[in-house]
Amino acid sequence: MIDAAELVDNDFLRQFELKIDNHFAKIEYSLQERKIFLTKLIVPEELNNDDFVTDFLKTVFENIEERNLSVVPTSPEIAKFIRRNRQYKKLLPVGVRI
């Protein structure tokens, strides 16, 4: 499902966007220096299942990793994702624990 969609980093609205069919999922963020604060995960009810959310977050984290940014999750859902997917803990800045 997510493979056919393209992740868009909307700098103007400060959010990652993913449109599937007529549904729109997004992660709002704030960028400061070399850190990206992931503040809010918004997934429409039609797409809100564990598989979609996991795939969406993995796509976003791969994009962040390619840009050599550190991640500061301020959203409980995103912090929970990092706890479950330890390979992304390396993206946390020094001193931030989850």
- Residue ranges of domains in the chain: 2-91
Q: Considering the entire predicted model, what is its pTM?
A: 0.90
Binned average pLDDT, 10 residues per bin, the chain of 98 residues = 78 94 93 95 91 93 95 94 94 87
β partners of residue 38: 29, 73
Residue 20: per-residue pLDDT: 87
- How high is the pLDDT of residue 84? 95
CATH class of 2-91: alpha beta
